[in-house]
Amino acid sequence: MTMHMIKLKALDHLVLTVASIEATCAFYRDVLGCEVITFGEGRKALTFGTQKFNLHEVGHEFLPNARVACAGSADLCLITENPLDEVEAALNAAGVPIEEGPVPRTGATGPLLSLYIRDPDGNLIELSNRT
């Protein structure tokens, strides 16, 4: 019997469930430089590079959705183009508290240097440079 294996290639998008789509869009646009797009029937998403975060507002989730969809449950690592000292300066200028870092971490392809912040829902956002 031949075993067929699924081979994943890439992440196309992920969904963030948020308390306020407006507040989330403002934070990711103004602090992290994402583009806010509208797609489908007025749905919102955040884009950067070749990545997309679709947004669902608590109580108005698009179906199907995660079994326990709630705001503030994500823990994401994002690779920045800017050196981490520039990221830290931009966060300080925007009044965004840095929870931890810079600290060494291990990413999907090797070592990282990372800062940790929280978005408006309390999601943990790791901003990293590959080292």
pLDDT number for residue 1: 65
Residue 17 falls inside a structural domain = yes
Per-residue pLDDT of the chain (131 residues; tens, 9 = 90+): 678 899 888 899 999 999 999 999 999 999 999 999 999 989 999 999 999 999 999 998 888 888 899 999 999 999 999 999 999 999 999 999 999 999 999 999 999 999 999 999 999 999 999 99
Residue 41 falls inside a structural domain = yes
Structural domain containing residue 118: 13-130
Residue 2 falls inside a structural domain = no
Catalytic residue set? 126
Residue 113 falls inside a structural domain = yes
Residue 94 falls inside a structural domain = yes
Question: Quick one: which of 31, 98, 30, 21 has its CA closest to 53?
Answer: 21
Residue 62 falls inside a structural domain = yes
How many separate domains does the chain show?
1
pTM: 0.92
What span, in angstroms and rounded, lies between the C-alpha atoms of 12 and 110?
21
Find the CATH number of the domain harbouring 74.
Answer: 3.10.180.10
Residue 89 falls inside a structural domain = yes
